[in-house]
Chain A
Amino acid sequence: MNPEPPTGTPRATATLEALHITKTFPGVKALDDVSIRLAPGSVHALLGENGAGKSTLIKALTGVHQPDSGSIVVGGAERRLSDPSAARDAGIGVVHQERNVIRGFTVGENIVMGRMPRRAGRIDWAGVTREARRCLELLDLELDPSTPIVDLSSAQMQLVEIARALYTETTVLLLDEPTASISAAESDRLFRVVDRLRDEGTAILFVSHKLEEVYAHCDTVTVLRDGHSVLESEPLSAHSHDEIVDTMVGRALGSLTVPDRRARPVAAPALSLVDVTTTAGHHGVGLEVRPGEILGLYGLVGAGRTELAHAIVGLERITAGELRVNGEPVRIRSLREALHRYRVGYVTENRKEEGVFLEQSITRNIAVTVWSKLQRGPGFISAKKERDLVAGYVSDLDIRISSQSQLTGRLSGGNQQKVSLAKWLAAEPEILIIDEPTVGIDLRTKRSFYELIWKLADEGMAILLISSDLAEMITLADRIAVMDRFVINGELENSHDYDSMSRDVIHLIHSGAEVAR
């Protein structure tokens, strides 16, 4: 395909139409006769549970995957997108869910990467800076193109990736879950950019699990379920929130009933932090979690929540103050000690990188924390004990698997997360720290996860829940501690009323003063 000749302002517009796209992977029909139409100057929401085919569709539209059949038409001309570069030539820009930057390069180089300006066969470095600055200005970003990209926050890197998408003539912009891992303030900034690009005539596809922001910013909607489009390019205003959820999950789910947890027993704190300072940068942190209680630790990305969890389980050092387990001051030096001596489990934030062994069977994944207990003779693991233990958690947690020997990497995100949780539960912790449990998990699995966490608390486990999803926090937590810049700004009893709670939490983040209760 020939690259489109560069055109000056005003920016060109084009409609993208994908018609009857089918894509089969070994054993799965990932997309079955899916069509979608993105019009200039509008934001189109692409919704669906995990595994519904959203990412596959985006990859088919950007030359990463080749559809088995169907056609892609941009601005009236049919395009064959043989690789990512061909998609860029066709005016299709994309920001994938994961950050895709070259960490050794500058901001500027990351923007022009793949299409370096050259002069006389050499890279034109002045041109790199000039072009990068132009793209950053399109987004109102005040970033120096010569800044090393590693100095940026994850949200800033995402904006740089949008700038990269705008570097070439982009008439269609695809955003795959751009708000999954950034704070509310950063989302606001992102949406200002999205709104502006839409007003300039860009056709935008927006993938998100957060229906509130979808309703606030999108015009049309396509819903995928199991590789089929159950709602195809329809105006969003014609469908209610509940209708959309129903089409996504395929059956009417009653709204989640929050159990009444006010009657929980009052016991002495299982885990307490007194005026703790850490090597990660925390200062004067005080927290208490009682058995049977869910304490939420809320904060924006970068507030220091995960780092605090790391300090508790011995991955960072506590330099001042006291950490107490069941009232006893302790010094935890390693995760192993945390788990086996003090019964503190830590379900890590990033399941793919820290939570599970993707290339290992489900059995191996769950039993890894308790191999010493499953021994039969020195150093040998009893396969039967291992199987029985794992079978128990598979049924308790309702993990959907075809067999115990299935590779964990083949499971959906939600089931992987359950495997990660089961691994820690197997070690029978009394205190459980759960870090961002439902990032990138579909609604149905999210609900079963919430029920599971409540059940664990009812059984007497002390739970410290870390999340940057405020709605999740207000649903799950009994109390919410708010952290900002490595300091606890205050703590709130949770009334489970979204409007008042979110107001108070946001207020706490901004004021830094304690709201008296």
Chain B
Amino acid sequence: MKRSIASVLRSQSTTLVAIIVVGTVLLGIASSGNFFSPIPFRTFFQFLAVPILIGLAQMITVAVGQLNLAVGAIGGVAAALSAVMMADAGVPVWLGAVVPLVVGTLAGLVNGWLVVLTRINGFIVTLATMTILLGAQYALVSTRTVSAANWAPLADIGKATVFGLPVIFLVSVVVAILVALAFRYTVTGRSLLASGDNPEAARLAGISNDRSVIVAHAASGLLCGVAALVSIASLPGINQSVGGDWLLPSFAAPIIGGVALTGGSVAVLGTVLAATVVRLVDTARAEFQLAPAWVNFVIGAVVLGTVALGRVRQVRQERRLGAERAREASSTAILEKTR
């Protein structure tokens, strides 16, 4: 029990919570309390939903030893198709809400199938599908912005709050909990981790790595679809830029959150917290009216810093183990001399 408390104190999540608390307080002071008034508070969480969802989407592919460069393109095309169907084809809103989920899952399935069938590196496969999907998104909406007026009931849900928290943020939290439960309590979830950690051992234990890769990409695509749905509900309109700025944040959240890029591990809480930190940086940027480029600068630097810090920790731990062994060896040597 003691050990688990100590590990909680040392964990990445604790650091992130501390950063969030300090950052929130500083923002509160800088905005002379304005940050805590209902509208900025709601806006903060409203635009936290997508970063959480795409961070989780990326985390799932990273866990199995893959990556998904197409998160933004999948989300963008799913949102565009749904928007065009509702606006131009008169598709009912409830059906329009299902479309992004189906499109996302299918796109993810295709990514997974391609990786498994061609045995080509997931980097190249998703880079290619990303480019194709971006083309499709442009073909669907071209230069127009499809107005949210075409799906008023959905837009209402996008604005709705429960106890002051936006419904779409709560959706992303529920999704995060489901993802965490899946990795903890389902055989499929554990199989993904096994495949990501040591594919050879997983294969010899009767786990299909191919299946793991396909499932991971499909789940990742589904979450991109959820992010697309959330975007439809919360944005004033859908155009070709939706999803265009998702790629870096999708990697930033899991990496800062403590997920190993080598595969085999997940950190749902860490990913959610890291997405929150990124959102704080964005809010601070708006508060101090800095150019949006600063956010990219800060996030890029934080990602590099996190990776470097992780490495320093690892080296330190190895040193400590070595020193312990030296102490042990010298004490036994002394013991033997006195004998």
Q: Which residues of A contact B (CB under 8 A)?
A: 62, 64, 83-85, 88, 94, 96, 98, 100-105, 109, 113-116, 118, 121-123, 164, 277-284, 304, 316, 485-487, 512-513
Contact = CB atoms under 8 A, between A and B. Distances in A.
18 contacts: A83-B206, A84-B203, A84-B206, A101-B201, A104-B264, A113-B205, A114-B205, A121-B186, A123-B184, A123-B187, A123-B190, A278-B326, A280-B326, A281-B322, A284-B330, A485-B332, A487-B332, A512-B336
Given A113-B207, A122-B185, A279-B319, A102 B193 contact: yes
B197 A277 contact: no
Nearest to A128: B190
A507 B19 CA distance: 57
A485 B207 CA distance: 38
Contacts of A114: 202, 205-207
Interface in B178-227: 184-187, 190, 193-194, 197-198, 200-207
A369 to B, nearest CB: 27
B333 interface: yes
The 7 A-B residue pairs whose C-beta atoms are closest, nearest first, are: A281-B325, A85-B206, A100-B201, A114-B205, A114-B206, A283-B329, A281-B326
B205 A100 contact: yes
B264 to A, nearest CB: 5
Contacts of B265: 104
Given A113-B194, A487-B333, A102 B328 contact: no
Contacts of B203: 84
Contacts of B336: 512-513
Given A114-B205, A123-B186, 8 more contacts: A102-B198, A105-B197, A109-B190, A113-B205, A280-B325, A281-B321, A486-B329, A487-B332
B324 interface: yes
Contacts of A105: 193-194, 197
B297 to A, nearest CB: 33
Interface residues of B, number: 32
Nearest to B63: A104
Contacts of A487: 329, 332-333
B333 A284 contact: yes
A96 B204 CA distance: 9
B145 to A, nearest CB: 44
B29 interface: no
Nearest to B326: A281
Contacts of A64: 204
Contact of A164 (B197, B205, B207, B329): B205
Contact of B204 (A100, A122, A512): A100
A101 B198 CA distance: 7
Contact of B264 (A96, A102, A279, A281): A102
Contacts of A123: 184-187, 190
B264 A282 contact: no
Contacts of A113: 190, 194, 201-202, 205, 207
A102 B197 contact: yes
A490 to B, nearest CB: 11
Contacts of B190: 109, 113, 116, 123
A485 B329 contact: yes
Contacts of A96: 204
Given A118-B187, A284-B330, A88 B206 contact: yes
Contacts of A279: 319, 322-323, 326
A280 B322 CA distance: 4
Contacts of A101: 198, 201
Contacts of B333: 283-284, 487
A96 B200 CA distance: 11
B326 A486 contact: yes
Most buried by B among A98, A104, A118: A104
A165 to B, nearest CB: 10
B104 to A, nearest CB: 24
Interface string B297-339: 0000000000000000000000101111110111011001000
A439 to B, nearest CB: 19
A513 B338 CA distance: 11
B190 to A, nearest CB: 6
A283 B326 contact: yes
Given A85-B206, A123-B185, A487-B332, A277 B326 contact: yes
